Structures are given as structure tokens and as C-alpha cells.
Structure 1
Amino acid sequence: MQALDDEPVLIQRTLAGDQRAFAELVERYTGAVFNLAYRMLNNAQDAEDAVQEIFLRAYRRLDSYDTERKFVTWLLTIASNYCIDRLRRRRFDWLTLDDVAFWLPSTRTGPERNALLNEQRAAVQQALQALPEQYRSITVLRYWQDLSYLEIAEVTGLSESAVKTRLHRARKMLETVLQQDREELWDETN
């Protein structure tokens, strides 16, 4: 990845019709956009489709980009809004977690530890999917995209205090869901 200092130049070149400049922006941010889409949509194919649509929307709206904001923040705003729209259209159609392990990085530990880590990751991903979409998007932006409260506020259009409140509630909801799963597992084994 090149220095981010050339982003304004790439944006200007794109606006002037240089498709290679936009291709450079796509190359830089595909990973971040895919990660956000995958965490929110919980399906690799849907996330790939979302990435295509998100970059298409960004290209079409590039003339409305405010250069006072970070480009990645603007792009993730488009991504977050698109994913929320997709989730609203789905309405409680929860997806399977069959391909989660494929996208999780290896820890290079023994098979037992790997199995335990995969189970824990799957449990967290499943708990994440149980969150209402407004809490899920905030959680993904904070813990998977590593955005600050202020950046999340910019992406979502919420105040910084609202972001903190929603994150607190999301953590409590995740804790409750994970605790219930643990108790159910305990009951099954005894």
C-alpha cells in the first residue's frame, strides 16, 4: 500500500476519468470493505457481491466526497449503509456459519487448541449475528475495523456518546448470548 498522501490526487484523477486511479483506491480498500461486509452479512459470497456494489456506489458518488473527511471513513459509511440495507431486506433470515473457519486466520497451535479456538470464534460470530443490526454494525466497526468512537460516529451519523452507549449495550447483549450458549452446552454435557 502506498502512502495515503496521494489519495487526493487519486480522487482528482478518478473524477477526471482516470480509471486506473480508481483501481488503485479499490486495491487499497477492498480488504477493509470485504471485512466489514463479511462481518455484517456473515456470508462470503454476499460480502463479495457487496464489495462490488459498494465500490460502484462510491465511484458514482465520488463527486460528493468531502475532502475534509478521511476517504476510508467515507467509503466505510457507504459500506455500512449498504450492508444495513441488505440486512433489512433479509429480515431475520439468519445464515449458516459453514465457511467462517475458512476466513479465520490460523494460530499455528495444536489440533485441540485450533478446534477450541474455532468453536469460540464460531460462537462469537453466531452471537454477533444475534445482535440487532444497529448494534452489530457499531460492533463490527469498533472491533473488526478498529475505528475510534469519533470515526464510528462519522460513519453512522450518530453522536460519539450514542456510539459509546450502543457499544456498551452490544457488549452486554453479546455477553448474555454467550453465557446462555455456555449454560446450554453445560446442561447438554451433564
Structure 2
Amino acid sequence: MKILLHGAMMSIPHAASTPEEQAEVLRACQGDTEAFDRLVARYYRRVYTLCLSLLEDPDEAEEATQEAFWRAYRNLKRYDPSRSFRTWLLSIAAHHAIDRLRRRRARAPWSEALPAETLTPEEHLLAQEERERIRRLVGQLPPLERALILLRYWEGASYREMAQALRLSESAVKSRLFRARRALAQAYRAELATLEEPSHA
């Protein structure tokens, strides 16, 4: 998955489900608690990272992670096997984290840096600065828009999955995502313009 922002293409990988993983999910849906425990072990770090990136508080992120897995377990019978289990689980976590943000009315920045790319030594420094700039600009978005960017471009969620997770219509998801990308692009251009202004002695 890639984000194109003002000509800068940022690669963001997301893993596809394996047949073994799909079989594990099926066993969990059929009531195998040990299979679900293995899914928890497989995804715990990823869910925690998502919660931390939204909440910016390790203790609260830990609580949100536990709650996300509990909600997933209680709703296993509602899981649609045609959907990605990973995306479904992360959608539950994102929605719960956003609810927490709304309750405390905070606007915490996104703390997770984008993954490193394979670049030449000459390109690495500029790419690192670019990732940091985009990370910081994403962190300035409101929680819902931040979650939309995270789910769409980090986890590869479909519009339908995002709509279900965030309790929005697909058209609302698309329009909010468009506005979030537009805000990012405007902030990006404004920052570049500031950097390019000539200094006066």
C-alpha cells in the first residue's frame, strides 16, 4: 500500500492472511478458545501499536488492547469469514480507541513512524525527513480522520470495512478521507513553502 502526497510516494506494507491463519480463525469461531489465544498472541503487538498510535498513552493503550480482544471474542459469531480477520480486529480496536479519545476530548499526536524503505544511502536521509514530516502532519488530524488514514493506508482496509468499524456510511468514509488527505496536502505544501522562503540577513 502506498500514499501519494504532493509527489512523494510512501510505501506502507500490510500482510495478507495465510491459509494457516484462516484455519486458526475458523477454529476460534467454532469455539476453540486455545485457537483464539493463539490469535491474541499473533496480533497483540499490532493491536497495541494501533491503540498507542491513537491514544499516546501506554497504560491506556494496554487497556484498550485488552478491551478490543474481549470485544472481538464476544462478537466472533458475527465475524464474516469473507473479510480479513486482521482488518476486522484492527477496526474494532480503532473504533474503541476513538471512543476513548472522544470521551476524554483529547487530541494526541500520532506517535508511530512510518516503516523504513529500502533506499540508497543518498536518498535515505531525505526519505527519513519526509516520513517524519508526514507522521507529524498526520498527528495533527482529529482522531477520526487520523484513524481513517491509518486504517486505509496502513492496514489496507476497504471502504466497507472502514464504514462498518467506524459506524459511518461508505460515502461518509470517502468524503472524510478525502478531506483528511486534502488537509494533509495543504499542510504539506504550506510547510514546504515556509522551508523554501529565502532567509534575510
Give unpaired runs (5+ residues) of structure 2.
1-17
- 2:27 is aligned to 9
For 2:96, which of 73, 76, 82 is the aligned residue? Answer: 82
RMSD: 3.0
More deviation, 40-49/116-125: 40-49
Q: Alignment partner of 1:92: what SS? A: coil
- 2:157 is aligned to 147
Task: Calculate the TM-score normalised by the size of structure 1.
Answer: 0.76
Structure 1 or 2: more helix by fraction: 1
Work out whether residues 56 and 108 of structure 2, in 8 Å CA contact, stay in contact via their aligned partners in 1: no
Render the CA deviation track for 1:122-177: whole Å, top value 9, x for unaligned. 11111111112221111111111111111211211211111111111111011011
Task: Calculate the TM-score normalised by the size of structure 2.
Answer: 0.72
Does 1:107 pair with 2:118?
yes
Once residues 179 and 56 of structure 1 are traced to their aligned partners in structure 2, the CA distance between those partners, rounded to angstroms, is 42
- Taking only the aligned residue pairs, the percentage that are identical comes to 36
- 2:14 is aligned to none
Work out whether residues 34 and 48 of structure 1, in 8 Å CA contact, stay in contact via their aligned partners in 2: yes
- 1:66 is aligned to 78
Q: Alignment partner of 1:158: what SS? A: coil
Does 1:133 pair with 2:143?
yes
* Aligned residue-pair number: 179
Change (3 A) 1:53 1:185: farther
